[in-house]
Amino acid sequence: MLSSSITLIVLLASLVTAFPRLDPKSLQELLKRSTEPKGCPFAHGNAARTHQETSLASIPSPNVSPPPANTPGKLPILLPVTNAVLARVSMLWQIMATSHTMALLPPPPSSRLSIKVCQSLFHQTSVDTHGGSDVLIAYGMSLDLGAFLAAYGTVFNGDALSLTPGYSIGGPASIGLLGGLLSGTGITRTPSGLSGSHNNYEGDTSATRGDQYVVGNNDLLQIPFFQQYYDALLENTPAPEQYSNLFRFRQSRFNYSVETNPYFFFPQFAGVLVAPAGFAFPPAMMSNHSAQYPQGYLDKETFKSFFAVTGDSGNFKYQPGYERIPDNWYKRAIGTEYSNVLRMSCTLYTYSLDCLSDYSHSFVLDVLQFGLQDARLLSVGGNTGTTNSFTGVDVTALTKGVFNGATLAQGNNLQCFIFQLIQAEAPGLVTGLYEDLTKALQPLTDSISGALAGLDCPQLMELDRSQYEKYPGYKKNPTGL
């Protein structure tokens, strides 16, 4: 049954725009990998994972009254798919198999991506080599966003020149160094991994983690922050509205860093772009989708499961490494993948919910939504040596007149600014890490070029990095490597 389902999806994908970025061969490979048994490297024994299999015949037709939302064992009818057969295929794509025949052991304590490890979304290793496609399969993140994040993490915190490029989801991994040496392309030192990427990939003002220079680590969940997030989640509310209600929480976490961390630094990627992900990604990609909530709804038990938290509100307990996708969980529907692409058809700098609703599947828009309410959230900057001294960098001086901080929220300027700033700073950040710098940066360069295609961005040619010197948090770890 499953093989015929895959064939049907491939045929449909060649006829409709449900998978605009996937050719049939790539789609078939993704679906094959999403259903083939894999073992968890942190599990007892070698027992293979078992997968729930659902035939098309068991999926209710769209013209039949759907079961109650999120009824165990039932498949909900989902939007926005309109074709009856495609609707069935979409539901098959959305259900995540979560049953195991093995006992799970926690991955390394520094792992924030342990869901991917112990639910068999990594391929037998804690070094991620399939980041872009795996997050599409697991969460419905678009390939453009997933591929960019994977390319960035691999280039800066992994081994981009290995025979199997990837990066550690924890701390330094010798596998990256070994792979680079064996490939003959030359990585010169052990990559840092995500936990060693402060100011580079990981940054301050996290939704659930503490600031590196305040709590002494950047990977362990802090119960007080999780409690605040939990309390801010509206119940029985569609995911987009849940996210909108998180603004005060997002603002309070930013204020907390300003008030408590003299080394607080908010760079263009780890700050302006990545820090908001901790607030936007849970409603966008951890919510459960059903007939009642076609845009998703993140209930509080699901939220706890994804973050390895047990117990009742006010008495939570955190079990590092036990993050998991809950049972009976449905990801985003086909055609609604969460993307980094933002194509403007309305004026975003005039704040409008009508405008925002046109881009309900864009991470860049989610970043803008909060940034338009508090300009600091779009400001590269930091504390200047004492608490409560946050100062934004002079964007005009930093970019030598190409961009202006006052207009970053207009049109495509934010997307152009962030991605071009990453591209301009990349060679300096990885100097000394690779022997062949051009080859190492090529995946990131290609990904950025795709993200900016058709945006008509003003061209950023060089930066004045002296603008960062006023920030002790930058000087303490300027590369994040």
Do 113 and 18 fall within a single domain?
no
Structural domains in the chain (count): 2
The pLDDT value recorded for residue 481 is: 57
39-48, 204-213, 368-377: which has the minimum mean pLDDT? 39-48
Radius of gyration of the CA atoms of the chain, in A: 22
Let me know if residue 291 belongs to a domain: yes
- Residue 107's Cβ-count burial label (10 Å; 0-12, 13-18, 19+) is buried
Over residues 394-409, the mean pLDDT reads: 92
The answer to whether the CB of 414 falls within 8 A of the CB of 429 is no
Q: At residue 80, does pLDDT exceed 80? A: no
Whether 445 is in a domain gets the answer: yes
- Does residue 99 lie within any of the structural domains? no
Do 88 and 163 belong to one domain? no
Residue 409, in any domain of the structure: yes
Residue 481 resides in a domain:
no
In a domain, 70, yes or no: yes
Say if residue 184's pLDDT is above 60: no
Is the pLDDT at 81 greater than 70? The verdict is no
Residues 254 and 230 placed together within one structural domain of the fold: yes
Check residues 174 and 353 and name the one with the higher pLDDT: 174
Closest to 110 measured CA to CA, from 122, 132, 126: 126
d(CA 395, CA 402): 9
Percent of the chain with pLDDT over 70: 65
Across the range 74-89, mean pLDDT stands at: 42
Cα–Cα distance, 459 to 370 (Å, whole number): 26
Average pLDDT over residues 123-131: 42
Tens of pLDDT, residue by residue over 1-21, are 333 332 222 222 222 222 223
Can you read off the two tokens belonging to residue 351?
């704040």
Whether 47 maps to a domain, the answer reads no
Encoded tokens for 174: 């010798």
Residue 333 forms part of a structural domain: yes
**Is the pLDDT confidence value at 98 over 70?**
no
Look up the CATH number of the domain holding residue 300: 1.10.489.10
Q: 40-49, 268-277, 356-365, 424-433: which range is least confident on average?
A: 40-49
Do 193 and 322 reside in the same domain of the chain?
yes
Q: Are residues 269 and 413 in the same domain?
A: yes
Q: Which of 262-271, 275-284, 387-396, 409-418 has the lowest mean pLDDT?
A: 409-418
Q: How far is residue 280's CA from residue 206's CA, in Å, rounded to a whole number?
A: 11
Q: Do residues 87 and 136 both lie within one domain?
A: no
CB–CB of 357/139 below 8 Å? no
For the segment 424-448, the average pLDDT, to the nearest whole number, is: 87
Judge if 413 and 351 occupy the same domain. Answer: yes
Same domain, 443 and 378: yes
Of 96-105, 178-187, 310-319, highest mean pLDDT:
310-319
299 and 173 in a common domain: yes
User: Running DSSP on this structure, what letter comes out for residue 167?
Assistant: E
Which one is predicted more confidently, 480 or 190? 190
Q: Do residues 156 and 84 share a domain? A: no
More confident site: 214 or 355? 214
Q: Which domain holds residue 70?
A: 1-28+53-94
Average of per-residue pLDDT across 174-188: 54
CB crowding 351-388: b at 16 or more within 10 Å, else e: eeeebbeebbbbbbbbbbbbbbeeeebbbbbbbeeeee
Residue 6 pLDDT: 27
Which residue did the predictor score with more confidence, 339 or 228? 228
Residues 308-331 have a mean pLDDT of: 94
Write out pLDDT tens, residues 259-299.
999 999 999 999 999 999 999 999 999 999 998 999 999 99
> What is the average pLDDT across 384-399?
96
Highest mean pLDDT out of 6-10, 24-28, 57-61, 228-232: 228-232
pLDDT of res. 148: 87
205 secondary structure, DSSP code: S
Bridge partners, 289 (sequence order)? none
Q: What is the pLDDT of residue 90?
A: 54
Nearest Cα residue to 218 out of 109, 105, 381, 107: 109
Pick from 38-52, 70-84, 253-267, 422-436 the range whose average pLDDT is largest. Answer: 253-267
Q: What is the mean pLDDT of residues 97-104?
A: 49
For tokens 């700073």, the residue is 425
State whether 380 and 284 are in the same domain. Answer: yes
* Range with top average pLDDT, 150-154, 224-228, 422-426: 224-228
Are 9 and 146 found together in one domain? no
What's this model's pTM, rounded to 2 decimal places? 0.75
The whole-number average pLDDT for the span 106-122 is 42
Mean of pLDDT values over 382-395: 96
**Which pLDDT score, from 0 to 100, does residue 341 have?**
61
pLDDT tier, 161 (very low <50, low <70, confident <90, very high otherwise):
confident
pLDDT at position 244 is 96
